[in-house]
Every structure is written in C-alpha cells, then in structure tokens.
C-alpha cells in the first residue's frame, strides 16, 4: 500500500500510483523457488482465540491511509478476530467515528473523523522489525470491487526521512478481485495480485517498481489460500507466490533522495522494517480501476491469514544474499 502525498513515514497504506512513474520490472521468468538455508526466527500461527499482544498492535484510526480509503480501523472483535487457527480482518459497512490518525503520526491535534465502513489492521510496529530475510504469509484474500487487502512492510525507524525516502515493501495487495478486467486472462475478472517497492523522493517525485501476477491456473486468488512471500537481501529483493518468483528488483532499480544515503546503493532497503496486514475499503487504487467505486455487494468481507513467518539466512544473516539464488 502506498502513502500518497504524505511527508511522513511509519504507517502503511497503499495508495497506488497517482504520483511517480513505475519502472517496468526486468523480464523475469516464473520459476520454482531456489535457495536454501532459511532459519525460522519469528512466527504467528494464530492459535488460540485472540490476537497475541506481544506480537501485534491493532491500528485504531479513521484517516483513510492517505489514499481516501473509506474505513475506520478498530480494535473490536467485529473487525479483528482469531478463530480456528486463522486471523480474520473483517470489513463491514457501518458509520463509525474515531481518531483521524494513528498515534505515531497524530501530532497534538487528532480530531475525530467519520467513515462509512469499519475494518481491521494489525502491525508489529514497536514490537518486532527485521532487516533481510524471508517473510511469508499464507492467506486467502476476499473478492469484490472496493476490497483492498494487503500485507506489507514499513521502516521501523525512518532513517532516510518521511515516505517514501525510507522505502516501503508491499508483499501482497489484492485489489478488486473478481471485478471486471479487460486486461486479465482467464475470463474470471480481476485475478492478479500486486507486489511492489516504493522509494525515491517526496511526491510527485516518488517512484515504484511493481508487478501484477496471476496464478498459473488463472483462477481467482480469492478461491483458496496461497503463500505470498518476499526474499530480501542486501541489494536484491524478490517476490513470490506459492514459491514461484514473479518479480525481482535489484539496487540499481531503486534509490532514495535522502542526502544521508549518498554512496549507499542498498538504501533505503537496508534498515529494519515491521509487518502490517489490513483490509482497506475503497481508496484511489481500488475506486479508479476495474468496475470503479465500491460495490455494496462486496461487504461484509474478510481477509483470512493462516500464518505469517519470518526467516533469516542462517549462513549469511548480515546480508541475506547467500539464501537467495
């Protein structure tokens, strides 16, 4: 998710592509995962009947993620639940009022804001962050025009400055799944998920590299669970779905305008990042594409996450490169 037009860092919301130009990914064949030596260092299998507060903090805010999204994120069981070994982020249509912004970007003045929907968002901010490794999630995305689930990462400490100078890693975005799509193969509507990196300078000079990926079967990703992953090493980041690489990005394709990063080609993706998972409602990326707007029939919706796991490269934890081949 992208935080469009905001001169700050620290929370995710993806706002696609209104500012900045996309760099086309280099030609990447879809190949089975190769590499070895990953060592599990953190995981949540979502056992029990409640979110683990030692691992996650729910976001409570109604600011719309910087993308004109329509939800208030709450910490209520109506919107965040752990049931049957699965984390459920639930979006529903209901008028709701809450704080405009999350604490880390609220400032002194944080007025109440009203939105038309509620939903759930969880983050490891202030609890856990990682530099380099493999981060993966087994998840089932919801279908529907206006539904925008995501699993992504933001810098724990924006060392290179506000968004996007300190970077953003989008492992999974699924926008308007099943809605009409003139560019999609398979005859089932929008069947592509998105992975992306965001970097560069403040809007309108922000940049990104992204890729829309369809399953080999061309089925809707909302039909079943799939494993979405990023393998992140110094100067090299690749994204996978069900252990098939669909996007590889190298340091010569990214940059940051931060003066402190001069001479450091790995910046801004050389710092610890934390994980987020959320289900947004509407927003520019969603509402300006496919069937447009937010369909009432898309809600209630739920984003189901079976597990999220973090691995480090046991033989090369300082750069992670030895495990990415």
Q: Is 168 a catalytic residue?
A: yes
Closest by CA position to 175, among listed 141, 199, 206: 141
Distance CA 144, CA 2 (A): 20
The three state secondary structure string of 123-189 is ECCCCCCECCEEEEEEEECCCCCCEEEEEEEEECCCCCCCCCCCCEEEEEECCCCCCCCCCCCCCCC
Name the token pair of 171.
Answer: 């492992």
Residue 287 has φ and ψ, to the nearest 5°, of -75, -20
**Which of 173, 190, 231, 234 is an active site residue?**
173
- Those residues whose C-beta lies under 8 Å from the C-beta of residue 115, and which sit 6 or more positions away, are 62, 64, 70, 71, 72, 95, 96, 97, 98
CA-CA-CA-CA dihedral for 170, 130, 249, 313, to nearest 10:
-130
Residues counted in the chain = 325
Distance CA 61, CA 148 (A): 17
Distance CA 179, CA 270 (A): 37
DSSP class of 278: E
**Which of 136, 168, 190, 287 is an active site residue?**
168
Distance CA 285, CA 179 (A): 13
Contact by Cβ (8 Å): 5, 66: yes
Name the token pair of 66.
Answer: 């910087």
Residue 321 has φ and ψ, to the nearest 5°, of -70, -30
Residues designated as active site: 168, 173
């Amino acid at each position: 998710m992208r935080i469009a037009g905001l001169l700050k860092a620290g929370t995710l919301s993806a706002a696609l592509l209104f500012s900045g130009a996309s760099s086309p990914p280099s030609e990447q064949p879809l190949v089975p995962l190769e590499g070895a030596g990953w060592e599990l260092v953190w995981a949540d299998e979502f056992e029990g009947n409640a979110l683990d507060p030692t691992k996650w903090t729910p976001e409570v805010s109604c600011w719309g993620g910087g993308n004109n999204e329509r939800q208030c994120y709450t910490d209520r069981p109506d919107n965040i639940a752990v049931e049957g070994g699965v984390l459920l982020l639930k979006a529903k249509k209901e008028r709701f009022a809450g704080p405009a912004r999350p604490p880390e970007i609220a400032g002194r003045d944080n007025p109440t804001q009203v939105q038309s929907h509620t939903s759930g968002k969880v983050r490891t901010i202030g609890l856990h962050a990682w530099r380099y490794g493999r981060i993966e999630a087994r998840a089932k995305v919801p279908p529907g025009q206006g539904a925008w689930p995501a699993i992504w990462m933001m810098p724990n400490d924006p060392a290179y400055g506000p968004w996007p100078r300190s970077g953003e890693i989008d492992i999974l975005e699924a926008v308007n799944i099943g809605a009409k799509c003139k560019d999609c193969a398979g005859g089932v509507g929008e069947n592509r998920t998105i992975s992306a990196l965001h970097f560069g300078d403040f809007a309108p000079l922000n940049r990104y590299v992204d890729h829309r990926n369809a399953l080999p079967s061309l089925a809707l990703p909302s039909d079943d669970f799939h494993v979405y992953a990023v393998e992140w090493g110094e100067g090299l980041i690749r994204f996978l779905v069900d252990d098939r690489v669909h996007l590889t990005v190298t340091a010569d394709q990214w940059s940051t305008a931060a003066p402190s990063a001069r001479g450091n080609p790995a910046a801004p993706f050389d710092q610890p990042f934390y994980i987020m998972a959320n289900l947004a409602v509407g927003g520019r990326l969603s509402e300006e594409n496919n069937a447009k707007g937010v369909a009432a029939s898309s809600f209630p919706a739920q984003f189901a996450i079976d597990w999220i796991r973090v691995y480090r490269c046991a033989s090369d934890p300082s750069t992670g490169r030895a495990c990415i081949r």
